[in-house]
Amino acid sequence: MAPLLMSPEVAEAVANNTPIVALESTIITHGMPYPQNVETARRVEAEVRAQGAVPATIAVMDRRIHIGLTEDQLQSLGQAQNVAKLSRADLAACLASGGTGATTVAATMICAKLAGISVFATGGIGGVHRGAETTFDISADLRELAETSVTVVAAGAKAILDLPKTLEYLETLGVPVIAYGQDAFPAFWSRDSGLKSPLRMDSARDIAAAHLLRGQLGLPGGQLVANPIPAGDEIARGEITPHIEAALSEAAARGIAAKAVTPFLLQRIFELTAGRSLHANIALVLSNARLASEIATEIARQRT
């Protein structure tokens, strides 16, 4: 038996086929500064509840995978230092050693699946980093999408990445990439990456049906739903690009590598945009939580 500890609210939702939306914790510990991280985590949970679904924020503490956190746990995670950023490779090791760990997209998918949760909302998935042809830096999030049957709602992949290579890699792995309501693949802070999305769907009902059909077809792996940031909150591509490039050169000059790259870039872009990137990040996560709740509701309805 996996060492899962569900909150009473989540356990009840699982028992009653109430729609549930999984939420990750790396965005809290490594993606946003305190106190906006904790405030956002709370607002995202409230958004899911307002849509009639149950939020399940996931993290590792005291040798257990917690599915659904208390207010106190959210607060302490949001202020904790030296929290491990957990992916597929180190989830079990963190549990074994009794450390505190925040789950990335990959680890959250694994934990959601164990808890019987089909849908997960985040900001942006990890992907193929720029320069991957020499560094080999490719996020474990991509392989997880190929293996674990959870539908992930994100605003695309983060624009700090090499987006054409990220899409190529997802295609190789057989991961459905579905833009919601538009043809273009979104680019996290901007609605349009300039790349066409491989698939497009315009309703939560169709996305839910495709999720269930993949199971019926015996296809392993999940789906990436790429939900563009709301128009009023986006930072246009032309405007954010120079900041991304400045942050990338700085990361290279300082020799930032591996798991530290994404948190460093997000923090630098926050400074370079005078906080606008964080405002956009919060808006897109809230919007993804809304869509994920609709999809979870549809999956619960279509299952019965």
Where in the sequence numbering do the catalytic residues fall? Answer: 24, 158
Pattern of binders to ligand PSU over 138-177, x per CB under 6 A?
-x-x------------------------------------
Start-to-end CA distance of the chain, whole Å, equals 27
Q: Which stretch binds ligand PSU (CB under 6 A): 44-52, 120-128, 166-174, 196-204?
A: 120-128
Q: Does the footprint of ligand PSU cover residue 27 (CB under 6 A)?
A: yes
Q: Which stretch binds ligand PSU (CB under 6 A): 56-64, 69-77, 122-130, 235-243?
A: 122-130
Q: Give phi and psi for 256, each to the nearest 5.
A: -75, 130
Q: How far apart are CA 293 and CA 45, in angstroms?
A: 10
Q: Does the footprint of ligand PSU cover residue 126 (CB under 6 A)?
A: yes
Which C-beta is closer to ligand PSU: that of 68 or that of 126? 126
Please count the other Cβ atoms lying within 10 Å of the Cβ belonging to residue 204: 22
- Cβ contact 228:273 at 8 Å: no
Stated length of the chain: 304
Rounded least distance, CB 12 to ligand PSU, Å: 27
Its sign, for the CA torsion 69, 70, 71, 73, is: negative
Q: Does the footprint of ligand PSU cover residue 24 (CB under 6 A)?
A: yes
Q: Does the footprint of ligand PSU cover residue 31 (CB under 6 A)?
A: yes
Question: Structure tokens of 194?
Answer: 């300039």
Pattern of binders to ligand PSU over 94-113, x per CB under 6 A?
----------xx--------
Task: Give the SS3 label for residue 68.
Answer: coil
Sequence ranges of the binding site: 85, 105, 137, 139-141
